[in-house]
A and B are shown apart, each in its own frame.
Chain A
Amino acid sequence: MAIPVTVRRYAGVVAAAAILCAGVALDVVVRQSGPVTALGGQLRADALSAFMLTVVGAVGLTATWSGLRVRPNPAPTNAYAVLVVLFLGAMSLGVLADNLGVLWVAVEATTIATAFLVGHHGTRRALEAAWKYVVLGSVGVAIAFLGIVLLYAATRSAGSPTLSWATLDATHPALDPSLVRLAAALTILGFATKAGLAPMHSWLPDAHSQAPAPVSGLMSGVLLSVAFYAILRVQAVAAPVIGTGLMRGMLATAGLLSLAVATLLLIAQRDLKRLLAYSSVEHMGVLALAAAIGGPLAISAALLHVLGHGLAKSSAFVASGWILETEGTTRIEDLRLLLRRRPGVAVPFLVGVTALLGLPPFSLFFSEVAIVVAGVQRGMGWVMAATVLLVLGAFAALARRVAVIAFGSSADEPEQMSDSAPDWSTPGPRFPLGVALGTTAVAGFVAGPFAAVLTDAARVLGGAG
């Protein structure tokens, strides 16, 4: 069955644009008239779901639109087009479901949709990455499912079997604390695997480096964030029963460990896409710390971080795909002085990385500062001190590696440089990357309605933390 070329080219873009519009519309509706439900309560959009849906749409649009080629060939294959749409659909279902079980099914479905996308290039490396990704991803979320089953058993023995967080939040059944403790620990452990938190991160750099660039952008920008969203939901359900101590300990440990692992592996990284992948581990570590802190400030900042990281990381991944296409390699050593030779692909990459480094004016700077401030306010001073040190370490490591691309070393054959004019062309449309990075740059300053969206979304999680 052949899908027409035009449909194949634009299916992902149209799907992502539709999700973005639906997300923004839901943001507006939810702010005016409260949560919206559909399908007899199976789907429910509150402020948090609407915000996450907007992020899925925005990052999806950045990745799919800028993934379009300027030249019409090669058009994506049938399978690629279908799987990208399924992937976007599964993530939308995940954030809209009002049922931990359905959320789980959607997260597992993203593994299924992306398995062949990771193995898309058909090389040995792609195959190895796809195998590790599917096995580790499925086993990880299987642990989460065991936790969800135990939570369901706890609600059943309390007299009202349910997996809906709206119901649990409204009725507060008397759940058995020791069972909920076990359930929460298993669920968070499982979803943390999918979110790429250390020490369960080993699939992430392989999968991200082998997938086609737009897919890497989608996986890093939203798949990890949807898994993080699942952690937030579980935390909000479990916190009223067992308090926050256990989950705070787990998340803070995983967060600091992720920061440490990412910093160590960034220092000597030789591959551009793996560099971006370990930067994702770092940012997920920051998010895990924000979840550990809890409370309105930390969670609002975490959501801003999700948006900023999603847009910046997908832009950087798409640009790394352009670099691979024009230079034929992603080995950092071979990309010296790329900024002078091919500024067309180097500039969007470097701007994206600057945003990821957490430099102002990009919103990641403000969200990281806000998370640290929230942590100090909540008495996690020592953890925050370690966080700041590790984030600075990761900053130095990442900056040192990408500096090679921008400046190279002084000994880099200057005669080779002079023979051609800088190449400003790009293999894909520049406009979406400009919009994405521009949004990241201004999001930190836009107060008013946007800040209210974030605080409303954070308030959904109630007194979690």
Chain B
Amino acid sequence: MSETTYTQLLQLSAGLLLLCAVLIVWRRSLGAHIRLLAVQGWALAGLVAVLGLHEHSAELLWVSVLVATLKGVVLPAVLARATASDRTRAREETPLINTTAALLAVSFLTMLAYLVSRPVLALGSTAAVAAVPVGMAMALFGFLVLSTRRHAVSQLIGFLLLDNGIATVAFLTAGGVPLVVELGVSLDVLLVVLILRVLTSRIRTEYGDADLDDMTELRD
């Protein structure tokens, strides 16, 4: 792969990652969120594959297959099942801030991501390092979704967006973490999502819907 193609493919996948993250903040339908997360998972797998081809690393190519399976297929399927039983209310109805404010926050957080990434950008001027702020921005958008949305599944989506952002930073700065850690992290994320899915359906049975504002019994 020539250097130009590598740079272009890398920037393409990074751009796609960021676009999906912005669209997740913009849209309110949970179905759209889940499809966007799946696209983002594939974009991340593509990013890993491009890095693997560039560095001639068979390990990274295997990791990209793992990422595609987990983030492109399995996790979106788990989330889709979590909303399947809830056709009537598969939307985020009561976010704490409206869409305009959320999109303003997104542009602010993107600037913040560049600021936070300065120590990382000092590592070198390669194409991969230059794309690190994208990962930081995704992680910050994840926090935004987690802190402003009140539907249980929205919180799951925020968590996965945060996780995708951290994974993006990991692949861009260090070519991923050691394989044993990567496998452990993937398993942990999968289990956390499965647990939250089970808790979501229990919340729905218990309260009638999955709005977290109903959960106010524990306080001091």
Q: Bound pair: A and B? A: yes
A132, A152, A161, A268 — most chain B CB neighbours (10 Å): A152
Is A105 in contact with chain B by the CB < 8 A criterion? yes
Contact across chains for A149 and B184 when beta carbons are under 8 A apart = no
Is A99 in contact with chain B by the CB < 8 A criterion? yes
B203 contacts which of A131, A142, A206, A268 (Cβ < 8 Å)? A131
Question: A282 to chain B: closest CB distance in Å?
Answer: 15
Q: Which residues of chain B are within 8 angstroms of A142 by Cβ–Cβ distance?
A: 159, 162-163, 166
Is B212 in contact with chain A by the CB < 8 A criterion? yes
The verdict on A131 contacting B199 (CB below 8 Å), with A149-B170, A178-B119 known, is yes
How many chain A residues have a CB neighbour from B under 8 Å? 50
| Secondary structure type dominating chain A contacts | helix
Is B218 in contact with chain A by the CB < 8 A criterion? yes
Is A373 in contact with chain B by the CB < 8 A criterion? no
Q: Can you name the residue of chain A whose Cβ is closest to the Cβ of B163?
A: A142
Q: How far is the CA of A436 from the CA of B202 in the complex (A)?
A: 38
Contact across chains for A150 and B173 when beta carbons are under 8 A apart = yes
Q: How far is the CA of A111 from the CA of B220 in the complex (A)?
A: 23
Q: Which residues of chain B are within 8 angstroms of A156 by Cβ–Cβ distance?
A: 173-175
Is B139 in contact with chain A by the CB < 8 A criterion? yes
Q: Which of A54-62, A119-127, A212-220, A231-239 participates in binding chain B?
A: A119-127
Question: A288 to chain B: closest CB distance in Å?
Answer: 21
Contact across chains for B220 and A205 when beta carbons are under 8 A apart = yes
Q: Which residues of chain B are within 8 angstroms of A269 by Cβ–Cβ distance?
A: 220
Q: How far is the CA of A125 from the CA of B152 in the complex (A)?
A: 16
B139 contacts which of A146, A178, A206 (Cβ < 8 Å)? A146
Contact across chains for A178 and B122 when beta carbons are under 8 A apart = yes
Question: A413 to chain B: closest CB distance in Å?
Answer: 29
Q: How far is the CA of A179 from the CA of B192 in the complex (A)?
A: 29
A179 contacts which of B123, B178, B217 (Cβ < 8 Å)? B123
Question: A226 to chain B: closest CB distance in Å?
Answer: 15
Q: Which of A44-52, A133-141, A192-200, A348-356 participates in binding chain B?
A: A133-141
* Count of inter-chain pairs, beta carbons less than 8 A: 134
Contact across chains for B220 and A99 when beta carbons are under 8 A apart = no
Contact across chains for A134 and B199 when beta carbons are under 8 A apart = yes
Is A366 in contact with chain B by the CB < 8 A criterion? no
Contact across chains for B162 and A181 when beta carbons are under 8 A apart = no
Q: Which residues of chain A are within 8 angstroms of B119 by Cβ–Cβ distance?
A: 150, 176, 178-179, 181-182
Contact across chains for B192 and A134 when beta carbons are under 8 A apart = yes
Is A87 in contact with chain B by the CB < 8 A criterion? no
The verdict on A128 contacting B166 (CB below 8 Å), with A138-B159, A139-B159, A145-B185 known, is no
Is A256 in contact with chain B by the CB < 8 A criterion? no
Interface string of B176-206 (1 = CB under 8 A from A): 0110110011011001100110010011001
A145 contacts which of B166, B199, B215 (Cβ < 8 Å)? B166
Q: Can you name the residue of chain A whose Cβ is closest to the Cβ of B177?
A: A101
Q: How far is the CA of A179 from the CA of B169 in the complex (A)?
A: 13
Q: Can you name the residue of chain A whose Cβ is closest to the Cβ of B219?
A: A206
Is A153 in contact with chain B by the CB < 8 A criterion? yes
Is B58 in contact with chain A by the CB < 8 A criterion? no
B120 contacts which of A130, A139, A153 (Cβ < 8 Å)? A153
B159, B175, B178 — most chain A CB neighbours (10 Å): B178
Is B155 in contact with chain A by the CB < 8 A criterion? yes
Contact across chains for B155 and A135 when beta carbons are under 8 A apart = yes
Question: A107 to chain B: closest CB distance in Å?
Answer: 9
The verdict on A265 contacting B173 (CB below 8 Å), with A131-B199, A179-B120 known, is no
Contact across chains for B215 and A105 when beta carbons are under 8 A apart = no
Q: Which residues of chain B are within 8 angstroms of A108 by Cβ–Cβ distance?
A: 185, 188, 192
Which residues from 407 to 431 on chain A have a C-beta closer than 8 Å to any C-beta of chain B? Answer: none
Q: Which residues of chain A are within 8 angstroms of B166 by Cβ–Cβ distance?
A: 142, 145-146, 149
Interface string of A225-264 (1 = CB under 8 A from B): 0000000000000000000000000000000000000000
Q: How far is the CA of A104 from the CA of B186 in the complex (A)?
A: 12
Q: How far is the CA of A403 from the CA of B139 in the complex (A)?
A: 48
Is B14 in contact with chain A by the CB < 8 A criterion? no
Question: B211 to chain A: closest CB distance in Å?
Answer: 12
Q: How far is the CA of A268 from the CA of B195 in the complex (A)?
A: 34
Q: Which residues of chain B are within 8 angstroms of A181 by Cβ–Cβ distance?
A: 119
Q: Can you name the residue of chain B whose Cβ is closest to the Cβ of A116?
A: B195
The verdict on A265 contacting B177 (CB below 8 Å), with A131-B212, A153-B120 known, is no
| A–B Cβ pairs within 8 angstroms, 11 of them | A99-B180, A112-B192, A124-B207, A129-B218, A134-B195, A135-B159, A138-B159, A139-B162, A148-B177, A149-B170, A176-B119
Residues of chain B touching chain A, judged by Cβ–Cβ distance below 8 Å, are: 116, 118-120, 122-124, 139, 143, 146, 152, 155, 159, 162-163, 166, 169-170, 173-175, 177-178, 180-181, 184-185, 187-188, 191-192, 195-196, 199, 202-203, 206-207, 212, 215, 217-218, 220
User: A156-B173, A156-B175 known; 8 other A-B pairs, CB under 8 Å?
Assistant: A42-B180, A101-B178, A134-B195, A146-B166, A176-B123, A179-B119, A182-B120, A268-B220
